[in-house]
């Protein structure tokens, strides 16, 4: 497979891997939601979760399971469709970053930046360390990619000025 070859090849590969993990996670979520739409699936799911020590006796987990199983089949289908849409976006971003495509850097900057206000609102509504970590990672990704794009742009301007002195800015 083609490896990124910019300033930070490992950094771009790491961001791409992060995007792939998010994509796969959303596909798994969508599949789970689509399977939970069947009438008997909720009881089986609750029984299966009961086998994990973390899933029993914790108020947060009990509320989350109750909210999940309390959703209508239509709502689960809608959330599954949205999750699949985002999974495709993250997969495209990850692939583009992996092959070192500039369009993917722009796409990732734009799409990730659009989520930052939502993440800030979610933190303001109900703070959790996981939400703060997600925000920090997304802000770091945006800052890094903007820096990388600016650095590349100025190098290209410098290279084109050297090869064509008449193209120098006036």
Q: Are residues 56 and 116 in the same domain?
A: no
Q: Please answer whether residues 112 and 141 qualify as being in contact, where contact means their C-beta atoms are separated by less than 8 angstroms.
A: yes
pLDDT > 90? residue 41: no
Q: Is residue 25 part of a domain?
A: yes
Q: Are residues 129 and 107 in the same domain?
A: yes
Q: Are residues 106 and 95 in the same domain?
A: no
Query: What is the model's pTM?
Result: 0.74
pLDDT in tens, 124-146: 999 999 999 999 999 999 999 99
Q: Are residues 84 and 13 in the same domain?
A: yes
Residue 48 lies in domain: 1-100
Final residue of a domain: which of 59, 83, 100?
100
Q: Residue 157: pLDDT band by 50, 70, 90 thresholds?
A: low
Q: Pick the more confident residue, 24 or 10.
A: 24
With 0-12 / 13-18 / 19 or more C-beta atoms within 10 angstroms meaning exposed / middle / buried, residue 47 is exposed
Q: Please answer whether residues 30 and 85 qualify as being in contact, where contact means their C-beta atoms are separated by less than 8 angstroms.
A: no
pLDDT at residue 170, as a whole number: 46
Q: Residue 11: pLDDT band by 50, 70, 90 thresholds?
A: confident
Q: Are residues 139 and 121 in the same domain?
A: yes
Q: Are residues 45 and 73 in the same domain?
A: yes
Q: Residue 28: pLDDT band by 50, 70, 90 thresholds?
A: very high
């Amino acid at each position: 497979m083609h490896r990124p070859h910019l300033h930070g090849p490992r950094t771009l590969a790491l961001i791409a891997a992060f995007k792939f993990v998010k994509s796969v996670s959303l596909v798994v979520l969508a599949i789970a939601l689509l399977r939970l739409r069947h009438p008997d699936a909720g009881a089986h799911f609750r029984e299966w979760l009961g086998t994990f020590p973390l899933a029993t006796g914790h108020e947060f987990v009990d509320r989350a399971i109750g909210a999940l199983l309390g959703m209508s089949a239509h709502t689960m289908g809608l959330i599954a469709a949205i999750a699949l849409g985002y999974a495709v976006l993250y997969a495209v971003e990850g692939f583009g970053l992996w092959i070192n495509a500039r369009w993917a850097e722009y796409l990732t900057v734009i799409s990730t930046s659009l989520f930052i206000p939502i993440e800030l609102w979610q933190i303001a509504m109900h703070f959790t360390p996981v939400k703060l970590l997600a925000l920090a990672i997304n802000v770091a990704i945006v800052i890094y990619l903007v820096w990388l794009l600016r650095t590349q742009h100025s190098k290209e301007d410098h290279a084109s000025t050297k090869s064509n002195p008449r193209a120098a800015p006036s």
